[in-house]
Amino acid sequence: MIPIAKPLLGKEEIDAVTKVLSSGMIAQGPKVEEFELAFSEHTGCEYAAAVNSGTAALHIALLAHNIGKEAEVITSSFSFIATANTILYTGAKPVFADINPDTYNIDPERIQEKITSKTKAIIPVHLYGQSADMKAIMEIAEDHKLVVIEDACQAHGAECHGKKVGSFGTGAFSFYPTKNMTTSEGGIITTDDREIAEKSKMIRAHGSKVRYLHEMLGFNLRMTDIAAAIGLVQLEKLDGFNAARQKNASMLSAGLKGVSGIVLPATKPGSTHVFHQYTIRAKKRDKLADFLKEKGIGTGVHYPIPIHKQPYYIELGYRDSLPISEKAAEEVLSIPVHPAISGDDVQKIINEVKEFYATA
Ligand SMILES: *Cc1c(COP(=O)(O)O)cnc(C)c1O
């Protein structure tokens, strides 16, 4: 089976974890601090605060910016549920803007239409590993004095006009095992704002900077040194992992070019796409997925139901019409692109997709 995702963990990660286990300091300690420094440098940011998931990173970033009740936050409905749920956690209201049909990222013009006197923040998602249109989004944010929190959970190392994602606004990354790099579970907040960094570190630890002195309401959302030790090794491998994803993606695109029935992923000028997913639009999508599964190729639908159509959001009263997001949800299919697949695997994927449309 060629899986849709697989973390690449080697002897270096195992040795790093063993060292931490032998040290006796297995909760948040010096490795977390070391990881924060290394990750902020890689992102081109001044500060980083490591936490225990990407969801925690988004949640804390919102709280650190004082987003709460009465606020509206504009984001994409075509994303993983965490993007919008973290807005709900704060008491604020997610407001969905439709996407660009080629990049699947939030459309700046649609953002403009959703701004009201209550709008406090925008959360663009860099979906599948490609940056949203950060130039346009930062301009809108500046004009309307809005906070920008980047959901960079799928885009470690991606750039927009030579600048890394997570360095435009406040960044939120995930290190879940399927992402471009992993710490097992984990996440991080990146920022150039010292106050946001300090507040984030307090919120992750029960609102406390000095032990047993609690200045605000916080949580326990800390990263462990075990996770950070894995992250330090993975971060060194990240650029190589991304290069392998890009190589696989260009082989897939070259091999699948011209196949009728599918639309290949588009990389927009000025973007470096790090291909968290290689996602096509496919006619007879579900039949293609079944066919590939039979041939030993794993696929994924990211995502089959836009957030505004999820049962819980319907219950909350969401009745949006977001036709581009809704159409994408019916047509997209992700096929393996991760660094654990071989050139032969890529060729097999190309052959089987062609075979399906030749006989379909
Ligand atoms: C993975 C992901 C998250 C959540 O990260 P976790 O580490 O799983 O909590 C949020 N947003 C997007 C777009 C993601 O892909």
CA of 261 to the centre of ligand 1 (A): 30
Does a structural domain hold residue 269?
A: yes
* Residue 82 beta carbon below 6 angstroms from any ligand 1 atom: yes
Mean pLDDT of 252-270: 96
Q: Encode pLDDT of 158-194 as tens digits.
A: 999 999 999 999 999 999 999 999 999 999 999 999 9
| Confidence at residue 70, expressed as pLDDT on a 0 to 100 scale | 94
Mean pLDDT of 228-257: 98
**Ligand 1 pocket check: which of 62, 77, 80, 325 to mutate, most ligand atoms within 8 Å of Cβ?**
80
Q: Encode pLDDT of 102-131 as tens digits.
A: 999 999 999 999 999 999 999 999 999 999
CA–CA separation, 41 and 166 (whole Å) = 11
Does a structural domain hold residue 226?
A: yes
Dihedral pair phi/psi, residue 278, rounded to 5°: -105, 105
Tell me how far CA of residue 180 lies from CA of 177, 203, 276, in angstroms: 8, 26, 6
CA of 106 to the centre of ligand 1 (A): 17
| Confidence at residue 360, expressed as pLDDT on a 0 to 100 scale | 74
* Residue 53 beta carbon below 6 angstroms from any ligand 1 atom: yes
Residue 303 amino acid letter: Y
CATH number of domain containing 201: 3.40.640.10
265 in the same domain as 216: no
Q: How confident is the model at residue 359 (pLDDT cuts 50, 70, 90)?
A: confident
Does a structural domain hold residue 4?
A: no
For residue 342, the enclosing domain spans: 239-359
Token pair for residue 17?
């974890």
Judged by phi (left if over 0) then psi (alpha if -120 to 50, else beta), residue 22 lies in alpha
CA of 153 to the centre of ligand 1 (A): 5
276 in the same domain as 200: no
Mean pLDDT of 11-17: 98
Average pLDDT of the chain is 98
- Sign, CA torsion 6/12/13/18: positive
Dihedral pair phi/psi, residue 164, rounded to 5°: -70, 145
Mean pLDDT of 252-258: 98
| Confidence at residue 206, expressed as pLDDT on a 0 to 100 scale | 98
CA of 125 to the centre of ligand 1 (A): 10
Q: Which of 198, 233, 268 is the last residue of a domain?
A: 233
229 in the same domain as 252: no
Q: Encode pLDDT of 25-60 as tens digits.
A: 999 999 999 999 999 999 999 999 999 999 999 999
| Confidence at residue 74, expressed as pLDDT on a 0 to 100 scale | 99
How many other CB atoms are there within 10 angstroms of residue 7's CB atom? 18
Closest-lying ligand 1 atom to the alpha carbon of residue 55: 9
